[in-house]
């Protein structure tokens, strides 16, 4: 299975390309790619014209897949239509992702699309780690790592992440 980091967003809420943010001395993009590769999967980076710095950086280190950059769901469907086989997606804004999280999801995979969630206060919260297999209905994988809930959409989110360390 191929692991794909989704890194072609517009960055409108931050005014900055999130995959290029640094955390603990590494770019967010590298954190996600390293987790995928350490889990044993090949990593590709899905980029678009919305994120030129990310595209340039990703091209220098990883294989890239150019997407339209319309929105996350559109780009995932675009990738599935192109690959026509299941793949793992990881968003590029969850700095506490570990290769162990990916292995945990892969071990639970049974051939159908899977959405990764964490249960917090009795509610399911999606974390941006999924397996896309073309099914209309996703199976749910409940991650044990509640740090996956810390994703960065705003500078306020980033400040909360920095407070965690």
Closest CA to 91 of 28, 49, 136: 28
The two tokens of residue 138 are: 């996703």
pLDDT of amino acid 106: 97
Cα 7 from chain centre? 8
Q: The whole model's pTM is what?
A: 0.91
Band of the pLDDT at 131, cuts 50, 70, 90?
A: very high
Question: What stretch of H or E contains 34?
Answer: helix 28-38
Give the C-alpha separation, 111 to 133, whole Å: 7
The two tokens of residue 13 are: 């809420």
Distances (CA, A) of 144 to 17, 103, 117: 29, 12, 9
Question: What stretch of H or E contains 90?
Answer: strand 87-91
In the predicted structure, residue 14 carries a pLDDT above the cut 80? no
For the chain, percent of residues with pLDDT exceeding 70: 98
As to burial, measured by CB atoms within 10 angstroms (0-12 exposed, 13-18 middle, 19+ buried), residue 132 is buried
Length of the chain counted residue by residue: 165
């Amino acid at each position: 299975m191929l692991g794909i980091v989704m890194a072609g967003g517009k960055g409108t809420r931050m005014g900055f390309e999130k995959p290029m943010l640094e955390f603990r001395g590494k770019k967010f993009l590298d954190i996600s790619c390293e987790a995928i590769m350490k889990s044993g999967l090949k990593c590709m980076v899905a980029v678009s014209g919305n994120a030129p710095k990310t595209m340039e950086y990703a091209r220098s280190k990883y294989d890239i897949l150019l997407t339209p950059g319309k929105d996350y769901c559109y780009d995932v469907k675009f990738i599935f239509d192109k690959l026509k086989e299941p793949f793992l997606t990881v968003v590029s804004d969850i700095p506490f992702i570990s290769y162990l999280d990916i292995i945990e999801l892969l071990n639970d995979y049974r051939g159908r699309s899977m959405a990764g969630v964490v249960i917090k206060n009795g509610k399911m919260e999606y974390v941006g780690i999924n397996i896309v297999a073309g099914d209309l209905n996703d199976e749910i994988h409940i991650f044990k790592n509640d740090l996956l809930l810390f994703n960065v959409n705003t500078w306020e989110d980033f400040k909360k992440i920095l407070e965690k360390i």
